[in-house]
Amino acid sequence: MTPEQVKLVQESFKMVAPIADTAADIFYDRLFATAPQVRAMFPQDMKDQKKKLMQMIGTAVTNLHQVDKIADAVAKLGARHVKYGVKDEHYDIVGAALLFTLKQGLGDKFTPDTESAWTATYGLLAGVMKDAAKNGA
């Protein structure tokens, strides 16, 4: 990722942070509408899960310019996801729901460059997670 992309992601996430609860609602509504088969993998009550997801994305985004600092934690997260029943093919579905959420949340500010930067960010995180799922963290 380029430094400009890192900046775009960090600045756009700052705009989403104040509406984190709404963003989490949009994300999971979209995820379960497009992939109802994954609903059963999650707990009935999604309150904690929503908080954890936004926190983890926040941590990743904050450290995007020093990705080696979080690589280990992200790899361990990927290894835990195997236990949750997550498979490689789920990552694209989740990535699409994330981009949809950002588009809804950011409106006009979700420019093509911002979209590419987020696509790269998600690809990076998902790549580390999938690699750890395959090869161990």
Q: How many chain residues interact with ligand HEM (CB under 6 A)?
A: 20
**Contact call for residue 130 and ligand HEM (CB under 6 A):** no
Single residue of 126, 132, 133, 137 touching ligand HEM by CB under 6 A: 126
Task: Measure the CA–CA gap between 137 and 134, rounded to whole angstroms.
Answer: 9
User: Between the CA of residue 58 and those of 20, 51, 53, 89, 100, what are the distances in Å?
Assistant: 10, 11, 8, 24, 17
> In this structure, are residues 105 and 23 in contact, taking their beta carbons and an 8 Å threshold?
yes
**Contact call for residue 30 and ligand HEM (CB under 6 A):** no
Residues of this chain that bind ligand HEM (CB under 6 A): 38, 41-43, 49, 52-53, 56-57, 77, 80-81, 84, 86, 90-91, 94, 125-126, 129
